[in-house]
């Protein structure tokens, strides 16, 4: 008997391996997947603008990366003692205006170089609700009516909030994809919708938002055919897992168990068998490195370290492109 609905995943013959580069951008859900890819030694760049939720802000950030935009002081604003960019996540905010600019421009330069040689762009849309700047005279560093990436706890009266349409998203992203494929014709796009529920929009507002995102991705997938793939993270949580035990205490974010389940679905569908085997070895190494011995100087622990070093060196020899220097260094610092 079957007691749940299993979501069918169209992998579209994708077989991602450790020789590929992946740029991941979008909501906080993409950071979970990005960190897991990074921990298992894939070449990844995660959210060069910080977490972004809506398709228009994500598209704007990618346009700026492609154009290699350089930010200046006029594009920052000060609020509650910190300098912010309306296009960036608060992780870029700082008491020093200079440091904010250096951080932003450094990330854009890194992302520009990375996107030109990326094999995959993984995009996670979180919400179709956007906030438009109402302020005049460039008070928060962007033009009036522009969509912000982050409100940075500014008063609500500074913004107009609205639900964008499917046609707005597809028009914006069709334009962006033309630009992206002109600089990197072989790149594949993997779209997904974040399973995180935005209850501040209300249950109906959340459903309207997610439906808009799903319809937009459906249209983009039809238009771009083999170059665009959809991974159903949203459906896996809402239809396959379908239980509050797979959510964290806030009843909005997927639990760690749900994230692990989605990760297994993603890797099982999109990764090559060889990379799946490498992931298993990396997980074993990471688990061993997280071990905290009762007596680090004991003969048993020193033997454990030498065995682990041998394991890491053999993996590195088989796959020289894997960045395992930090793991080796951590082991060697514990040897006596």
> Does a structural domain hold residue 277?
no
> Does a structural domain hold residue 154?
yes
Q: What is the pLDDT of residues 147-168, one digit of tens each?
A: 999 999 999 999 999 999 999 9
Q: 162 forms bridges with which residues in the sheet?
A: 130
Cβ–Cβ under 8 Å, residues 301 and 293: yes
Same domain, 264 and 324: no
Per-residue DSSP letter, 10:
-
CA torsion sign for 39, 40, 43, 48 is negative
Q: Beta 120-125 vs 21-26: how paired, if at all? A: parallel
Domain of residue 28: give its range: 21-271
Q: What is the pLDDT of residue 1?
A: 64
Same domain, 267 and 328: no
* Rounded-to-integer distance, Cα 35 and Cα 15, Å: 19
Same domain, 309 and 187: no
* Residue where a domain terminates, one of 242, 271, 300: 271
Domain count, the chain: 2
Residue 267 phi, psi dihedral angles, 5° rounding? -65, -40
> Does a structural domain hold residue 205?
yes
Nearest Cα residue to 121 out of 35, 214, 211, 184: 184
Q: What is the pLDDT of residue 13?
A: 73
How many CB atoms neighbour CB 68 within 10 A?
12
> Does a structural domain hold residue 251?
yes
Q: What is the pLDDT of residue 220?
A: 98
> Does a structural domain hold residue 8?
no
Nearest Cα residue to 293 out of 282, 302, 283: 302
Same domain, 248 and 321: no
Alpha helical stretches, state H, the chain: 28-39, 55-66, 97-115, 166-183, 203-224, 233-235, 256-270, 273-289, 299-318, 325-334
Same domain, 312 and 178: no
* Rounded-to-integer distance, Cα 115 and Cα 102, Å: 20
Nearest Cα residue to 42 out of 281, 322, 326, 269: 322
Cβ–Cβ under 8 Å, residues 220 and 191: yes
Same domain, 124 and 66: yes
**pTM summary value:** 0.94
CATH value at residue 245: 3.40.50.1110
Same domain, 104 and 221: yes
**What are the pLDDT tens digits along the chain (336 aa)?**
677 788 999 876 789 999 999 999 999 889 999 999 999 999 999 999 999 999 999 999 999 999 999 999 999 999 999 999 999 999 999 999 999 999 999 999 999 999 999 999 999 999 999 999 999 888 899 998 999 999 999 999 999 999 999 999 999 999 999 999 999 999 999 999 999 998 888 889 999 999 999 999 999 999 998 899 999 999 999 999 988 899 999 989 999 999 999 999 999 999 999 999 999 999 999 999 998 888 888 999 999 999 999 999 999 999 999 999 999 999 999 888
> Does a structural domain hold residue 111?
yes
Q: What is the pLDDT of residues 261-282, one digit of tens each?
A: 999 999 999 999 999 999 999 9
> Does a structural domain hold residue 4?
no
């Amino acid at each position: 008997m079957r007691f749940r609905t299993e979501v069918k995943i169209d992998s579209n013959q994708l077989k991602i391996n450790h020789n590929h580069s992946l740029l991941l951008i979008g909501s906080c859900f993409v950071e979970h997947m990005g960190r897991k890819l990074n921990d298992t030694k894939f070449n990844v760049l995660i959210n060069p603008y910080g977490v972004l939720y809506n398709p228009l802000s994500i598209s704007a950030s990618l346009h700026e990366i492609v154009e290699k935009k350089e930010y200046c002081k006029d594009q920052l604003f000060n609020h509650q003692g910190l300098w912010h960019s309306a296009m960036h996540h608060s992780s870029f905010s700082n008491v020093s205006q200079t440091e904010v600019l250096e951080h932003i421009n450094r990330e854009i330069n890194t992302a520009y170089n990375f996107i030109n040689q990326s094999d995959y762009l993984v995009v996670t849309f979180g919400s179709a609700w956007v906030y438009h700047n109402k302020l005049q005279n460039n008070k928060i560093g962007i033009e009036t009516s522009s969509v912000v990436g982050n409100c940075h706890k500014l008063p609500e009266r500074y913004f107009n909030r609205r639900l964008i349409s499917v046609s707005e998203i597809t028009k914006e992203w069709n334009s962006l994809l033309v630009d992206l494929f002109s600089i990197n014709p072989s790149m594949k796009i993997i779209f997904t919708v974040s399973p995180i529920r935005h209850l501040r929009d209300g249950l109906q507002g959340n459903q309207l938002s997610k439906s808009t995102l799903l319809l937009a991705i459906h249209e983009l997938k039809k238009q771009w055919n083999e170059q665009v793939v959809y991974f159903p993270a949203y459906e896996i949580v809402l239809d396959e897992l379908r239980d509050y035990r797979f959510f964290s205490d806030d009843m909005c974010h997927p639990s760690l168990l749900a994230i692990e389940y989605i990760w297994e679905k993603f890797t099982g569908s999109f990764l090559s068998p060889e990379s799946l085997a490498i992931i298993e070895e990396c997980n074993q190494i990471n688990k061993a490195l997280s071990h905290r011995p009762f007596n680090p100087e004991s003969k048993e622990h020193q033997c454990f370290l030498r065995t682990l070093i041998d394991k890491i060196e053999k993996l590195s020899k088989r796959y020289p492109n894997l960045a395992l220097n930090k793991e080796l260094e951590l082991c060697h610092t514990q040897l006596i």
